[in-house]
Structure 1
Amino acid sequence: MVALVASAAAVAVVAPAINSDKRDQRQEDRELEDKAEEDALEAGLPLKLAPGTSYYGPSWYVSNASYGTDQLNGNPFKEDGGEAVPSWAWLEKNWTPLSATGLSVSVESQHKTTVLVQALKLRDVDCSAPVPDGTLLRPPGIGDGGEVTPTVDMGMRVDSSRPVTRVVKGLTLGAPYTSQVALDKGDAREFRIIFTAQEKACSFQADLLVYSKGKQYRLRLPSSWGKGGKPASYTFTVAPPHKPYKSHYVVNAANMLVAVPDTHIKWNGQGPTYTGNGELSYW
């Protein structure tokens, strides 16, 4: 009987020791996994990019095609209509932003050391295409997202002989951008980036210049985002004004395409303003 009691006591002692060993092993495995994940982040790009919310798209678009004075008149603008009918996808595929294009992007620092966001850099610039003169179109208005955290604004004139990163006010480029944004690990900021053209129609890609751990990185900026916040394209397009256009359209408050006469378009600097009432008319 004494032997049985002693054996049970031994088992009771061994069992907690085994459980403790298992807990220690699980803890060690978790620590190794965390370290592997951290090492991967340190070896990777210094910033994680995600869609921002502070850029609402071009105010006007232009096309080489002339849609006449009634070809689209009265047609609905379908928000999710696809590339074959008037919609956002149709604009993105077939039209060029007028005067200015851009994006907003949220960046989050991934490195232990401070990451410095410094400037913009262009790549694959092609300004050889003719300036579109067929149709001028104002898309539907997009309401803002309410109060947002102040953004870091910077921009660049794409068709300049020597493009320089500049400060931005509204959609207007100002003095050269000389600041840099410091981000510690886990810090996030939203950048609103504007690209303009004054003389040539251009397609291009763009990078955000970032400095981390003694090295400069070029992070490619998406021109559009797809499902799950993944980049859908990296190629931007932008064109300067070409007056007069062969036809003019606006999307009215009822999401209807309306043909408007040239006399209802007022030009102020680089940008047009529609002065009509948005009603269908067959002038």
Structure 2
Amino acid sequence: MIPDFQGEARERRSDAEDRKEKKEEDALEAGLPLKLSPGTTYYGPTWYVSDTSYGNDQLNGQPFNDDGGAAVPSWAWLTKNWTPLSSTGVAVSVESQYKTTVLVQALKLHDVDCQRPLPKGTLLQPPGIGDGGEGASSVEMGMNVDSNRPVTRKVNGLSLGAPYTAQVALDKGDAREFRIIFTTRTRACTFKANLLVNSKGKQYRIPLPAEWDHNGKAVGYTFNVAPPSKAYRSRYVVGNDGELIAVPESDITWVGQRPTYTGDGELNYW
């Protein structure tokens, strides 16, 4: 037989645990309906442009250091100093925090500035990034940032299609990945973006991170993107050996707004 005082202590502990759990649930219900973390299905821009002209082979033969800081050719250097060409984006994993169903419906832009000059200094193709293999399919949506009235659209690769009219329903604890693409056709733009979400009869705007740190924490919310001007003063690609290679204009073929490198990937001094 369990003494009465032990039984009472267990009840008190159980009550305390219930109160703690309810407090945690109330805190979640009082916050945003979705928790965001980095996704895996967006591999970054396929080309970048810069105001700076790295002519006279300034970068020719320099190594591209994946983990280098912003002062040397690296991903951090591109993020800080370069602009994605034609399209940019982000992949986010979203997890529902509410007891009631959360509906993810669309995108919304704000703080849009499309009055920037077009970068014409240097065109650069970074190293390719392989995908992570087969996984759960992501929800894809995008926006043309420099449109007079941007609307959420379906995504076809890195291009946009018909208006996006679906909505994604998430119950508490459900998680889903979203791959989001932003494009521009004629103007260079900076902007911020939100996911539009409905739950409990209210609309919420969830800020979309433009940059994450190594711990999966959002460290920036401003995106930038520029259309091609084509008349770049210098052009570089990162070769298979991880070195930057200065290439002639004749090694770049354009199809619409998409450049393709057609050279041999070898250092040369044409």
Question: What TM-score bracket applies, with the shorter chain setting the length?
Answer: over 0.9
Q: Secondary structure at the match of 1:33?
A: helix
Listed as ranges, the gaps of 5+ residues in structure 2 are: none
| Corresponding position of 1:84 | 71
Residue 187 of structure 2 corresponds to which residue in structure 1?
Answer: 200
In structure 1, the partner of 2:198 is 211
1:114 aligns with: 101
TM superposition score normalised by structure 1: 0.94
Distance 2:152 2:181 in 1: 10
Residues 1:261 and 2:261 aligned together:
no
Q: Say if 2:35 is the partner of 1:67.
A: no
What CA distance in whole angstroms lies between the structure 2 residues aligned with 1:226 and 1:111?
27
Instruction: Map 1:137-176 to 2 at 5 A.
Output: 137-176=124-163
Secondary structure (helix, strand or coil) at the match of 1:162 reads coil
Runs of 4+ in 1 over 3 A off after TM superposition: none
Residue aligned with 2:88, SS: strand
Q: Which amino acid aligns with 2:238?
A: V
| Residue 233 of structure 1 pairs with residue 213 of structure 2 | no
How far did residue 171 of structure 1 move? Answer: 0.5
CA contact (8 A) 1:69 1:248 kept: no
Q: 1:243 aligns with which of 203, 210, 230?
A: 230
Question: 1:72·1:259 contact (CA, 8 Å) conserved in 2?
Answer: yes
| Count of paired positions | 270
Shift of 1:21: 1.0
In 2, the alpha carbon distance for the partners of 1:85 and 1:226 equals 18
Q: Which runs of 5+ in 1 are unaligned?
A: 1-12
Distance 2:59 2:123 in 1: 12
Decide which moves more: 223-232 or 25-34: 223-232
What CA deviation, in whole Å up to 9, does each residue of 1:14-37 have, x standing for no partner? x72111111111111001100111
Q: What letter is aligned with 1:49?
A: L
Deviation at 1:69, TM superposition (A): 3.9
Cα displacement (A) at 1:263: 0.5
Instruction: Write the distance in 1 (CA, Å) between the matches of 2:265 and 2:3.
Output: 79
Structure-1 separation of matches of 2:133 and 2:195: 26
Per-residue CA shift, 1:72-105, capped at 9, x if unaligned? Answer: 0000001111011100000001000000000000
Matching residue's letter, 1:185: K
For 1:187 and 1:280, locate their aligned partners in 2 and report how far apart those are by CA, in whole Å. Answer: 50
Q: Note the alpha carbon deviations across 1:2-53, whole angstroms, 9 max, x for none.
A: xxxxxxxxxxx7x721111111111110011001111111111110100000
Equivalent residue, structure 2, for 1:103: 90
Query: Quick one: which amino acid aligns to residue 172 of structure 1?
Result: S
The separation in 2 between residues aligned to 1:229 and 1:261, in whole angstroms, is 39
1:127 aligns to 2:114 (yes or no): yes
Report the Cα distance in structure 2 between the residues aligned to 1:84 and 1:42, rounded to whole angstroms.
43
Which of residues 13, 18, 23 in structure 1 aligns to 2:5? 18
Measured after TM superposition, the shift of residue 268 of structure 1 is 1.0
- Shift of residue 277, structure 1, vs aligned partner: 1.3
Aligned-pair identity (%): 67
Letter in structure 1 aligned against 2:186: E
Larger radius of gyration: 1
Q: Distance in 1 between matches of 2:262 and 2:214?
A: 37
Deviations 1:165-192 (A, max 9, x none): 0000100100011111111111110000
